[in-house]
Each structure stands twice: as C-alpha cells, then as structure tokens.
Amino acid sequence: MTYDRLVCANCASPVSEGRCPVCRASRERLQQAGGFGGLTPTALIALLVALIAVALLAHQVATV
C-alpha cells in the first residue's frame, strides 16, 4: 500500500500531506521501506509476466 491513500489517525488528514509530526514520521518510514513495497500492483504483475517469459524462453533454449 502506498502512503498517498493512508489517513492519519492523529489529525485525520492524508499522510502524504504530512500535516502533523505523526504524518511526517509515517511518511518518512514508508519512503525508506523501499524494496517491492514501492511498486504498484500493475508493476508487480508486469514483472511477474516478464519473469515467466524469460523462464519459458530459457526452457525452450535448453531443450533445443
């Protein structure tokens, strides 16, 4: 989940706006998480499709 959809329980504003110290701390923590957490579901699906295509190509090359 991305922080642009989260609502702060402290000030009831979007976390992405960073209106209070709690929002700013949460936003900073989510930005530093990195890894696959920053990818959108569409990007993850595209990555999975590309990985499957490479695996199929490698399998065809290995059997020839």
Residue 33 has pLDDT above 90, yes or no: no
Report the distance separating Cα 3 and Cα 23, nearest Å: 10
pTM higher than 0.85: no
pLDDT score at 55: 97
Sorted by where each begins, the domain ranges of the chain are 1-33, 40-64
Higher pLDDT: 1 or 4? It is 4
How many CB atoms neighbour CB 8 within 10 A? Answer: 19
Residue 5 has pLDDT above 90, yes or no: no
Average of per-residue pLDDT values in the chain: 84
Report the percent of the chain where pLDDT is more than 70.
84
Report the distance separating Cα 34 and Cα 48, nearest Å: 18
> Which two three-digit tokens encode residue 48?
């999975």
| Pair 13, 7: CB distance under 8 Å | yes
